[in-house]
Amino acid sequence: MAEKIIFYILAIIMVVFAVASVSSRKMLRSVVYLLFVLIGMAGIYFLIDYNFLAAIQLTVYAGGIIVLMIFSVLLIHHIEMELEVAKTFKKIITAIVCLAGLGIFLTTIYSHPFNVIENSNSTTINEIGKGFLSYEAGGFILPFEVISVLLLAAMIGAIVIAKGTKASPTPPKEGLRSGAKTDN
């Protein structure tokens, strides 16, 4: 029973902060609201007894991505500036389309009979690690290596892109950009 109450509290927190995150007019607040949603998801992983995944969620998302986003917001945005909002008509149309999609999702989900297996298995990190590094049938060693190469490539790419070239005193206009590039 306690789990049920905790789940509902987490669900309410997540939905409220998700709505606040996509509708807040201050960008930094919107990032911080996203942080609460991600922490709520980590709470659901804890409830469902995947502690390793919850730890990953907290370290990678709450610790890494949110900090990265806050840094970028502070770099490129004035704190006091308010975001411009979309037109009310566009908002209403989008909300209607999203509600229709949600309705289709929910009717599909509720009309599908899931064969739920009652269990209280708990997973150890040992099993997860062995599954990742096993090269027998059902092992995940190849995707694991591919992901490590992908992360390396993304890191190098991010450094190369964000480093850029030396800033010219006047920002080049479009159309002249390819010509201006060769002059440097």
Partner 1 sequence: MILGVSIYEILTLTSILFFIGVYGFITRTNLISMLISVELILNSSVVNFVVINKYLFPEVLQGVFFAVFIIAVAAAETALAIAIIINLYRLISSVEVKDTEVMKY
Residue pair 141/135 in contact by the 8 Å Cβ criterion: yes
Q: Which of 9, 49, 133, 145 binds partner 1 (CB under 8 A)?
A: 49
Report the residue number, 80 or 121, with the smaller CB distance to partner 1: 121
With binding defined as CB under 8 A, does residue 53 bind partner 1?
A: yes
Shortest Å distance, C-beta 79 to partner 1? 14
CA distance 31 to 21: 7
133 binding partner 1? (CB under 8 A): no
Establish if 3 lies at the interface with partner 1 (CB under 8 A). Answer: yes
How far apart are alpha carbons 17 and 66 in whole angstroms? 15
What is the C-alpha to C-alpha distance for residues 105 and 85, in angstroms, rounded to an integer? Answer: 28
User: Is 109 an interacting residue with respect to partner 1 (CB under 8 A)?
Assistant: yes
Residue 149 binding partner 1, by CB under 8 A: no
Q: How far is the CB of 11 from partner 1 (least distance, A)?
A: 5
Its sign, for the CA torsion 112, 118, 120, 125, is negative
Q: Determine, following the binding rule CB under 8 A, whether residue 36 of this chain makes contact with partner 1.
A: no
Non-local CB neighbours of 21 within 8 Å, separated by 6+ positions: 30, 31, 33, 34, 37
Q: Does 1 bind partner 1 (CB under 8 A)?
A: yes
Site for partner 1 in 77-96 (CB under 8 A): 77, 83-86, 90-91, 94-95
**Angular region, 138: left φ>0, alpha ψ -120 to 50, beta rest:** left
61 is a site residue for partner 1 (CB under 8 A): yes
